[in-house]
């Protein structure tokens, strides 16, 4: 995407937390955004597609400078039943495959394909800090992330610059894990999860959007990039920061067995330790506006 001037950008997942913020940022800067939606289109800026079935109208991509795929069923929306795991898989892998194959078949493909991914690819890392050179972990989330990124191979094989933003826990009041945390902490009901020693690799929503745009703009960048703040913190440290910023007590811990009973397998998403650092993003010259947790919490919207 050109750093200046008007570009045509196709965005899948524009109704989600990150996609909505990215779309708003691009539109505010004068770019034309075409949203891929799963319902009937409501305007000229929307095109219908079916990510789970792997169907997209390639004509909708014609003339675009960039394709950004952030679509996928919510990881934390429901318990991970076998049926919902299948939904999570199809919504990511099927959608990515459809877009990558459509891009690969274009006479004039976009300059960049930004395909969402997640830091879950590394699995649990304990106290060990990992960057993009680390191998994938084991378990459902790492396997999903590997397949998600792998589905973009047709675009890569066609010579299209492809980027995988491996997103951490986005600090926002609008969605994701933090949207559930803010009301609890504001009511004085917040506390550490489990023993609180697990690392949470967070990123402010503002920095998430800025980083994606940075990856879109830089023609020399491709492959995986960790979108996490430079200094991951433990859940205990983040809990204390929430209490300081919101001026509320944080004395009600949630024991790990309770979380597992309520969330099932999904409890691993908040109990596992992931100490992920953005080495490649920092090396590319990106500057975080809100690198610290307290600033990220204050900036949350």
- Those residues whose C-beta lies under 8 Å from the C-beta of residue 286, and which sit 6 or more positions away, are 210, 211, 214, 278
Range name among 86-90, 219-223, 229-233, 273-277 with the lowest pLDDT average: 86-90
Q: Give yes or no for residue 4 having a pLDDT over 60.
A: no
CA pair distance 251, 190, nearest whole angstrom: 7
For residue 2, tell me if it sits in a domain.
Answer: no
Domain with 287 in it: 8-299
Q: What is the pLDDT of residues 114-140, one digit of tens each?
A: 999 999 999 999 999 999 999 999 999
Q: Which string of b and e fits 101-121 if b means at least 16 CB within 10 Å?
A: bbbbebeebbbbbbbbbbbbb
- Return the higher-pLDDT residue of 2 and 275: 275
- Those residues whose C-beta lies under 8 Å from the C-beta of residue 143, and which sit 6 or more positions away, are 136
For residue 1, tell me if it sits in a domain.
Answer: no
**Predicted pLDDT of residue 265:** 61
In the block, residue with structure tokens 């940022």: 25
| 7's tokens | 């570009």
For residue 199, tell me if it sits in a domain.
Answer: yes
Q: Give yes or no for residue 294 having a pLDDT over 90.
A: yes
Please report which confidence band the pLDDT of residue 2 belongs to, taking 50, 70 and 90 as the band edges.
very low
Q: Give me the chain's average pLDDT, please.
A: 91
In the block, residue with structure tokens 């570009």: 7
For residue 19, tell me if it sits in a domain.
Answer: yes
Q: What's the mean pLDDT in 67-82?
A: 87
For residue 14, tell me if it sits in a domain.
Answer: yes
For residue 12, tell me if it sits in a domain.
Answer: yes
- Return the higher-pLDDT residue of 12 and 251: 12
For residue 176, tell me if it sits in a domain.
Answer: yes
CA angle (215, 76, 140) in 5-degree steps: 80
Q: Give yes or no for residue 263 having a pLDDT over 60.
A: no
To the nearest whole percent, how much of the chain has pLDDT over 90? 75
**Predicted pLDDT of residue 207:** 98
Q: What's the mean pLDDT in 21-41?
A: 95
**Predicted pLDDT of residue 3:** 44
Range name among 17-26, 55-64, 156-165, 267-276 with the lowest pLDDT average: 267-276
- Put residue 39 in one of left, alpha, beta given phi > 0 → left and psi -120 to 50 → alpha: beta
Range name among 181-190, 194-203, 291-300 with the lowest pLDDT average: 181-190
- Our count of domains for the chain comes to 1
N- to C-terminal Cα separation, the chain = 27
The model carries a pTM of 0.94
For residue 190, tell me if it sits in a domain.
Answer: yes
Range name among 1-15, 121-135, 137-151, 174-188 with the lowest pLDDT average: 1-15
CATH code at position 206: 3.40.50.720
């Amino acid at each position: 995407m050109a750093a200046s001037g008007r570009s045509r950008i196709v965005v899948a997942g524009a109704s989600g937390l990150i996609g909505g913020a990215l779309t708003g940022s691009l539109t505010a800067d004068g770019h034309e955004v075409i949203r891929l939606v799963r319902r009937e289109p409501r305007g000229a800026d929307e095109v219908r597609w079916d990510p789970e079935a792997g169907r997209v109208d390639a004509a909708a991509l014609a003339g675009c400078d960039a394709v950004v795929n952030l679509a996928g069923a919510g990881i934390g929306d429901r318990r991970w039943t076998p049926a919902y795991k299948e939904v999570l898989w199809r919504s990511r892998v099927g959608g990515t495959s459809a877009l990558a194959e459509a891009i690969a078949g274009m006479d004039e493909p976009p300059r960049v394909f930004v395909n969402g991914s997640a830091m879950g690819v590394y699995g649990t890392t304990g106290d060990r800090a990992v960057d993009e050179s680390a191998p994938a972990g084991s378990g459902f989330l790492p396997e999903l992330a590997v397949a998600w990124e792998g589905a973009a191979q047709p675009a890569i094989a066609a010579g299209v610059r492809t980027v995988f933003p491996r997103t951490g826990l986005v600090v926002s009041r609008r969605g994701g894990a933090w949207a559930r945390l803010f009301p609890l902490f504001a009511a004085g009901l917040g506390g550490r999860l489990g023993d609180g020693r697990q690392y949470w690799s967070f990123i402010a929503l503002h920095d998430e959007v800025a980083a994606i745009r940075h990856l879109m703009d830089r023609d020399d960048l491709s492959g995986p990039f960790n979108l996490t703040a430079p200094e991951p913190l433990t859940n205990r440290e983040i809990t204390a920061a929430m209490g300081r910023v919101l001026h509320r007590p944080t004395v009600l811990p949630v024991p790990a067995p309770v979380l597992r009973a309520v969330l099932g397998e999904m409890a691993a998403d908040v109990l596992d330790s992931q100490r992920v650092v953005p080495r490649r993003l920092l090396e590319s010259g990106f500057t975080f506006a809100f690198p610290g947790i307290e600033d990220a919490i204050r900036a949350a919207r």
